[in-house]
Amino acid sequence: ALQKMEKLGYILREPDEKDQRILRIRNTEEGSACVGTIKRVFCEMEDIMYGNMTREEVLLLGRLLRQICDNLMEGQDPARFDCCPHKLQKVCMKKDIFR
């Protein structure tokens, strides 16, 4: 993914000045512009998703989804979900979603 972003001109890889073993990655101007676009699109999608829901309903939805994730993960080896393209364990481990 980094190679593709670098090839498209969105990021630059630069060696660290003090430790050449470290490779610093930073956005280019074009990459920074894309971040803004992505954030805007994400906010628009949230507006559509939650459309006519109240804040309380959105918070309730978040709590219910966290409970579903907790139920799915209870007693499970997270490595079991490595085949999942959406990486269920990563989504479920984020306890701050919808807060």
- DSSP symbol at 10: S
Which pTM was predicted?
0.49
Q: Where is 48: in which H helix or E strand? A: helix 29-50
* CATH at 15: 1.10.10.10
Classified as helix, coil or strand, 8 is coil
Are residues 34 and 61 both part of a single domain? no
Domain that residue 5 falls in = 1-52
Are residues 58 and 97 both part of a single domain? yes
Are residues 6 and 44 both part of a single domain? yes
Q: What is the mean pLDDT of residues 53-80?
A: 86
Query: Quick one: pLDDT at residue 83?
Result: 59
* Terminal-to-terminal C-alpha distance of the chain: 29
Amino acid identity at 54: T
State how far the Cα of 65 lies from the Cα of 3, in Å rounded to an integer: 34
Give the pLDDT band (50/70/90) at residue 75: confident
Query: Quick one: pLDDT at residue 98?
Result: 45
Query: Quick one: pLDDT at residue 3?
Result: 93
